[in-house]
Every structure is written in structure tokens, then in C-alpha cells.
Structure 1
Amino acid sequence: MVTSYHSTRNKTIQASARQAVLKGIAADGGLFVHPGLGQEKADLDRILHQSYQENAAYILGLLLPDYTEEELTQAIQAAYTGSFASEAVTPVKPVGDLQVLELFHGPTSAFKDVALTMLPQLMSIALKDTGDSAMILTATSGDTGKAALSGFKNVDRTGIAVFYPEGKVSQIQYRQMATQQGENVRVFAVQGNFDDAQSAVKRLFLDQELNDWAASKSIRLSSANSINVGRLVPQVVYYFEAWKQLMQQGVIGRQDQLSFSVPTGNFGDVLAGYYAYRLGLPVKKFVVASNANNVLTEFIRTGVYDRNRAFIKTISPSMDILISSNLERLLYYMTEGDTKQVKTWMDQLAAEGRYQVTPEILEKIQSLFVAEYAGDDETRAEISRVYKEDAYVLDPHSAIGYLAGGRQKGEEPMVVLATASPYKFAQDVMEAITGDTMAEWDALHALENICQDPVPAPLAALESADILHDAVVDVPGMKEAVKDSCALTGRGTR
């Protein structure tokens, strides 16, 4: 067994890449990290001349060393063949003075599709080693839930339960989850916000009684959130793809750097960019773009992480997060693998809701990361401005990334990650552009008349789809919901 991963909080808690994918989270609550990340650099000349699928196999081979080349190639073909509307998978387009990396051409119109079409493949391969089944537990602020449901629908020996904050996702996001078909899927609205749901799911992974109960039935609990390394590493690929496309378009030369502006709440998407940087991608800086729940902005500017603040419901709900789980992985690398220090900070966060890094660590973070944030009014104004000036429609999350990227643009090209289709937030987008408040489907159809792409077929089909999932649970009731859902692990068909 190649123990290429260990916990961010304890180096003695080790796992192979396959085990890390199956476990999702370490036994001590830490996240699995690869201590040798970046020791072997990616060959940029090779990446420049390969397809997206070939680059995915190459980069995942560097990050998941105990998956064979044949396994990864087969998994990538299964994940990406016919799944994305764009042949490039994640195309880059010039919009105004910035470059927009479109990540929303997958089956659920969000960036999560890039990873959540791959994760079921990686998990199925790892399960073959064990003879067990898997129960996927996922908290979502909107997009992860549908992408995970779509990816794991009817997967053999696998069930999935998704928990989302009741009333705190967009109407399209709600319908995407509530109408999900599949013999092995369940969806639950949770009374509370995303942090309540996410924290509860993490506790369930560490609940010894629940894990023993599941083990007695040969079921492993795992995650489709970006705390799972198998969810995180496929996202590294599109950072290299952005570089490749801009090289091929003549926007940059071989010695030039790029900067990336990333709308993020859980820090997973921008962390994938940091992984690419450690693998040798020429990056000058990452712009961490937040909404009014700007806990990350404060942290990157001051070194203080403090979630003791009011939770704000915004028009960019996938970023309505106050506990950014993947930041823990960055702290591990910035401290050069000091797991004791990381554990101290995470214990302080759990006990007091805050921690503060040392000036030395803050300086290292600020050498590569800058932070911006925007409230709803600024977000609406940016959607309107970019449409009027550039005839391009941004969703509320991507608009924050675009605004932040514009504020921080230097001489190097700035790539903005467009993380969701504007159709997923049609009401807010149309209100930003026209000033009018529209009903859900009226907004969707009106948006089609001005948007650069037609309504994706899966979103259009939601208008007549039946609601199949209407369960509502409180946080204490989530454990019983998981136990009930474990019966789903025998219902997969593919």
C-alpha cells in the first residue's frame, strides 16, 4: 500500500489515495493531504499538446499515485464522454479586459460537474478493493448537491444522501435537487444554514456508533464535498487547461504568468488552483472573491479567521459559508506540514469560533493570495455593467469573481472562473439587467433571449418535472436520516 496521504492534523493517520477517496475525511477530523505535493512538477510542454482528457489522466496520475494509468484513463472517458456541451470541457473566452474560464457546460450547469462526474468513477475503482458498499453524505449550499446526485445516480453499491439549507438555495437549485430521479438517492432540507448542515455531516463521519453500525452492514461512509480529495483534484486540471488555451490563442507566451480570480466560499476551488501552482503552473496571484459573508476576505487581509458573525443570505447562495473547510489544507502547506499547529488552530475554531495565524504565515499567504468581496448591490451592478458593455451574462457568483478580478488586474492576464450558468439564477440576473422582478420561469425564458447560450436542456426540463423529495429534518434528525438512507446502497444499477 502506498501511504501517499495523511491527515492535516496528525501525520500518523495515513492512507493511500484510494483509501483517502473512500474515507473522505480523516479519523481525527482532519483532511487528507499529499505531503509531497509539487516535488514532481507537471510537464507544461506535454500539457500544451494534449487534450483535456489526456491532461486529466496525466495530472490525476501525479496526485493519485496508486491509481493505475489504465484505471484513470477509463474513469476519465466514462466521466467526460458526452457529458459536457463544450468540446473543450472548460473553454476560455475574452470578456472585456479579462478572460473568463467557463466551468458550467456540464450536466448540472455548475463547476462542480468537472469533479463530480469523476468522483464516482474514482470511488467505484477503490471500492473494488474492499467488497463494501459506500454511503455518500453531502452537505450543499446549492450546486454540489445536484452535481453529486447526478454523478452518483444509480451507481452500483453506492447510495447518496444530500442535505441542503431549507429556503437558502435558488429556486432552480432547489428544483434540481427536489426532482432528482434515481433508485439510490435521497434529498433532505435541513433547518438551518449551510454551515449547520456541513458541520453536522462532518460530525456524522466521526460518529463512532454510526460508523460501527454502518460497518456491521459492510457500508463505508464517505463524502462528495471538496473535503474529499477525490472531489478536489479533478478541479486542478482546468487551471492547466486555461493556461493551455491562452497559450494556443497567443494571449500569453511560454514565460508569462497568469492570475486567477475565484469566487469561493469553501475555499475548495481556489485551493485546486494552488495545487496547480505547486505543480508548476506559472501563477502570479490568486484573487479570493467573496460575497457579504466575507470571512475569507478578513482572514487573508488580517490573518484572523472569525466565524462569529451574522450569517447573511445573498443572491450568491453557493458562497453563503462561514466555515471554509479547505482553508485547513492551505494552512498545512503554508506551515510546511506542521500538523500540530494546524490542529491547534482547528481546535480553537471549534471551541471559540476563531483563530489567528502568525505574522510569518500571513506574509506567506499574502505573497500569493489577495482578497476582495462584494455585496448584493455591487453584484447586481456588475452583472448589468458587463452585459451592457460586453454583451456577456454572468451569474451572481461569477460576477463577484469578475468584479474582484477587475479590481486586482495587473499587467498579466486575469482569468475569472465562471462557476455557474446564469440560468441557475435567472430571477436575480434578470432583475440586475432589467430592474424588473419576474416569476421563476418567466425570468428563465426572458434570459434566453439575451444570453450567449440557450437554456440547457436539463434546466428547461425542470419546469414540468415532479417534486420527488420533500423531506425536512432538523440537525439532530440527520443521523437517523442517514441510517434510513443506507438501505439505498444496494439499489445502484451501473
Structure 2
Amino acid sequence: MPYISTRGDHNAVNAKTAIKRGTAPDGGLYVDPNISQHQLFAPMMAATSYQAMARIVLAALLPDYTADELSAAVSAAYSNTFDDPAITPVRDVDDLHILELFHGPTSAFKDIGLQLLPHIMAQALNPQEDVLVLAATSGDTGKAALAGFQDVPHTRITTFYPDGGVSPIQERQMLTAGGLNTTVAAIQGNFDDAQTAVKQILNDRQLAATLRQSDSSVTAANSINVGRLIPQVVYYFAAYRQLVDRDAIRAGELINFTVPTGNFGDVLAGYYAKMMGLPVAKFVVATNANSVVADFLQTGRYDRNRPFLKTVAPSMDIQVSSNLERLLYYKSGGDTDLVTRLMANLDRDGAYTVSPELLASLQNDFVAASADDEAVEDAIRDAYQQHGYLMDPHTAAGYAAQQSLAGNLSGVTVLLSTASPYKFPRAVAAAVAPELHGDDFDLMRQLAAKTGVPNPNNLGHLDRLPARVPVRLTPDAMPAFVEQQALQNKHQSQEVGL
């Protein structure tokens, strides 16, 4: 039973329980304290496909799942749902190496985890058990979770997004989601408000007791759930393998990864890969103008007591990056008392400061920079004009950070491209074709015609699909709504045989 809480609950649980719960009972996040014992570099370099790599990582980190269960989950997640056989291809554009993570059904990197999570979640449930899956989203997680869990037996999926805080394309993706078991709610407030409420709901013991009486429970689809995080480890190894295969690097050579960052899950998955043997020199952590994480990695002080900014990169409009808690656990040598104190300070004061020694350890692996909207627009324009590559605002924040920190890096650097540029056509058009006009769907089609970069099929027809009206809630109303949804899930699954 390898999983314990970052906050000191050492009642270890197996992977299925950790995934089913989402968060630990003490409010912490589940971690494998022995992750560095899984040295996977050699077997991953010998694997023959992305699917084979996924099975290797999952077998190491989810040991209570059978080989047949993992093979079935991997096949269901990655056989027919991505439009590139490499799943996460590396594109070489001049001197850039770009890891494209947007070839899944919703054109965002969240598909990598959320195509797999529903299958391993279903395998973790008891035969009569139902689960309500909650997803707080700053844009991309919402649709990816809805698509992944759509009509999965014994599950219901509810996404909460900040009203007015996602792009029109992202919102339309969520509102056109199908499935008998999907619900979309717009929250008054920002992503942090929604995520905080979801965490509180997951740790509500009275609600848990009420739901247990009807064999129901709630869990999370965000990367606070280790089942969402683990699948993302795979594409770091896959990117490295692609570079080795095309003689861009030698096996064993140190490289860097640049990662646009909001909730810190994507870059943490890369650090997991490093702990498991991947030769990584530095991770470039890129934020937008909401630069709490970048400032923390530069100074050692995490302080969310600042204005919350709405930017052209809305999926990074986050000031409480939950997965930093896991990084602090590992970098402190598993000091759960320290993590507990730091998280208590964050809840009470909105800030905490780490020791110079811990900061030095963080900076040994991570460098950071931020990019405001002007820098993001400049980066989109530069990448297109200089390299003919069209990138979304989040990838552009990474590109800007990578350029600004180039002097701090040696060797090959891989930039993670986290979403299709067509999810944010207004920001992209402003940078590369300001003469274009119209709504987001008009701009999407005009950009494709002007640049010759294909528009993904799943986005091009969104404006022709029927859209639901979202439920509108305050964060305070979320617990009662969740209880209603969970009990409705039990009733509905009994009625329709889900």
C-alpha cells in the first residue's frame, strides 16, 4: 500500500483507494514516498510504443492494479481517441523542439490524464458503488473530464468553471458536452474559489457519511487526484525517446523541459519522471501575469495576497497551485510536519516562506519566469513569424520564459505545447493577424484559412452543436448541489443501468 498523505496521515492506502478518494482524509494529497525506487529509464527506452510506456509507468505506480486491468485501461484511453499515432509527438521547428500535447479529443493536454482516469476509476469501484467526480476547471480540465467520464458506468461528472473566466471556445466545449451523467456549473468567482470549495467538499466527513449510506462517494478529476497526475509522467519519457530516435540527443544526455504552469500538475509529472530516472537538468516553470509560482521559485515566498488578473491565458489564471504541496513533500525529504505548517499558513495568511536550504533544493531543479499579456502576444507573433509555428497563449508564455532564461540553460530544451491555438483564436489572431474580425468561431476559420494550420475537427463545429444552459452557483452553494448530484447519480444509475 504505497500511498500516504503529504500532511502526515501515515495510514497507507493502496492506489485504488487513493484514486477513489481523490484527497487524503487530513486534507493532504496522496504521494508515493518511495517513488525514486522505481527507476524506469532503461525499460522506457526499450518500449515499442506510447501505450507500452504507459503500461510500464502505471505498473510501477499503481501496483495493486492487475496487468490485465492496466492493459484494458491503456487500450481504451489511447487506441482510437488521439489524432496522432505518437499520442504526444515532438515537432522539430527550426531549433525548437515542441512536445504537442493537444492531439486528444478536446485539443488540450488534460486529455492525456482524463482519457485514462475514468477507466482506472471504474476499476477501483465496488460493484454496487457510485461516484460523483468533481472537476474545478480554469478552462481545459472541464471539457476533458466531461469527455472522459461521459456515460462511464457508476459515475457522474460535474465541472465547475469561473463564470466569465474561460475562453468562449472552452465554455462552448463544456456546454455542448453530451452524456446522461454530465453536469456543468458556472461559479461566481475565480478558479481558486472553485478549487477551494471542491477540496472542502472532498474533506467533508458529514457529507461522506451521508453518501456512504447509499453506496455513493465523491472524488476529484483535477490533478490533486494522483490518478490524473500519473498518466502525465509518460509523455516526458516519450518525448525523450523521440529525441533519441532522431539522433537529437544521446541516451543518457541531460535535457530541459519548459512547462506552462497553473496548478503545477503538468510540471510535477515531469519531476516524477526525473525521480524515476529521466535525465533532466532543469524544468523551466512558466507563468502568466498571475506569477505567484514563478515568484515563489525565485524568492522562496509564496504569497497569493495580490490582485487576481484575468489574462489571455485563462487556464493559468491561478494563484493557489495545489500540486506544489506534493513538491514540498518530496523536496523536504518527506517532512509532513513542515508541509502541514506551510499549508496551514497558506490557509490562514495566504502566504508562507520556505527556508534558504529548501529554496536552494527547489532551484536545483526549477527555474522560473512569467510573461504578461503583452509578452504572450509578442511570443505568439515571434513564433509564427520566425518559425511558422502557431501556438496558443499558454504555450506562448512558455516560449517567452524559455527565451528569457536561455542563458541559464545548457543542452536541448523541449517546450510543452499544452493546447491547440484554436481554443484561443482571439488572442492568437490579435498577435498574427490583427486585421481579422468576428466572433471566436469566425476568427477560428479565418485563422485556418490565413495560416494553413488545420483547425481540429472537434473545435470547428462547436458553434453548430446544441448547448445546455449551465447551472449558476456561488461557491457557498456548491456542497448542497454536490450532495444532490451524488444522490441523483445513484438513482439514475439504478434506473438506466449505468
TM-score by length of 2: 0.96
Secondary structure of the residue that 1:180 maps to in structure 2?
A: coil
Aligned residue runs from structure 1 range 322-471, under 5 A: 322-409=319-406, 410-436=409-435, 437-451=437-451, 453-471=453-471
Task: Note the C-alpha offset of 1:98.
Answer: 2.1
| Equivalent AA in structure 2 for residue 439 of structure 1 | D
Secondary structure of the residue that 1:173 maps to in structure 2?
A: helix
Report the counterpart of residue 475 of structure 2 in structure 1.
475
Report the counterpart of residue 52 of structure 1 in structure 2.
50
Aligned residue runs from structure 1 range 261-280, under 5 A: 261-280=258-277
Report the counterpart of residue 488 of structure 1 in structure 2.
489
| Equivalent AA in structure 2 for residue 289 of structure 1 | A
1:91, 1:101 within 8 Å by CA — same for their partners in 2?
A: yes
| Equivalent AA in structure 2 for residue 417 of structure 1 | L
Q: Does 1:135 align with 2:132?
A: yes
CA RMSD of aligned residues (A): 1.3
Residues of 1 paired with 2:11 and 2:326: CA distance?
15
1:107, 1:458 within 8 Å by CA — same for their partners in 2?
A: yes
Residues of 2 paired with 1:139 and 1:13: CA distance?
27
| Residues 162-183 of structure 1: CA deviation (Å, up to 9, x unaligned) | 1000001000000000111110
Report the counterpart of residue 256 of structure 1 in structure 2.
253
Match of 2:22 among 24, 27, 43: 24
1:226, 1:268 within 8 Å by CA — same for their partners in 2?
A: yes
Gaps of 5+ in 2: none
Match of 1:239 among 232, 236, 239: 236
Report the counterpart of residue 98 of structure 1 in structure 2.
96
Secondary structure of the residue that 1:337 maps to in structure 2?
A: coil
1:392, 1:452 within 8 Å by CA — same for their partners in 2?
A: no
Gaps of 5+ in 1: none
- Which moved further from structure 2: 287-296 or 426-435? 426-435
Match of 1:301 among 298, 301, 313: 298
Match of 1:173 among 167, 170, 174: 170
How many pairs were matched up? Answer: 491
Report the counterpart of residue 199 of structure 1 in structure 2.
196
Task: Note the C-alpha offset of 1:480.
Answer: 2.0
2:91, 2:99 within 8 Å by CA — same for their partners in 1?
A: yes
- Which moved further from structure 2: 270-279 or 6-15? 6-15
| Residues 371-394 of structure 1: CA deviation (Å, up to 9, x unaligned) | 011000110011011111111100
Match of 2:227 among 210, 227, 230: 230
Aligned residue runs from structure 1 range 279-318, under 5 A: 279-318=276-315
Residues of 2 paired with 1:462 and 1:61: CA distance?
37
Q: 1:6 to 1:451 in 2, by over 3 A?
A: farther
Report the counterpart of residue 158 of structure 1 in structure 2.
155
Residues of 2 paired with 1:331 and 1:451: CA distance?
43
Task: Note the C-alpha offset of 1:468.
Answer: 1.2
Residues of 1 paired with 2:452 and 2:207: CA distance?
48
Report the counterpart of residue 86 of structure 2 in structure 1.
88
Report the counterpart of residue 12 of structure 1 in structure 2.
10
Task: Note the C-alpha offset of 1:435.
Answer: 2.2
| Equivalent AA in structure 2 for residue 248 of structure 1 | D
Task: Note the C-alpha offset of 1:461.
Answer: 2.0
Secondary structure of the residue that 2:35 maps to in structure 1?
A: coil
Task: Note the C-alpha offset of 1:45.
Answer: 5.1
| Residues 23-46 of structure 1: CA deviation (Å, up to 9, x unaligned) | 000001100000000112004254
Residues of 2 paired with 1:270 and 1:452: CA distance?
31
Match of 1:40 among 33, 38, 41: 38
Q: Percent identity?
A: 46
Report the counterpart of residue 67 of structure 1 in structure 2.
65
Q: 1:453 to 1:13 in 2, by over 3 A?
A: farther
| Equivalent AA in structure 2 for residue 240 of structure 1 | F
| Residues 17-73 of structure 1: CA deviation (Å, up to 9, x unaligned) | 010000000001100000000112004254344200000000111111111222111
Q: 1:345 to 1:404 in 2, by over 3 A?
A: same
| Equivalent AA in structure 2 for residue 86 of structure 1 | D
1:232, 1:272 within 8 Å by CA — same for their partners in 2?
A: yes
Secondary structure of the residue that 2:414 maps to in structure 1?
A: strand
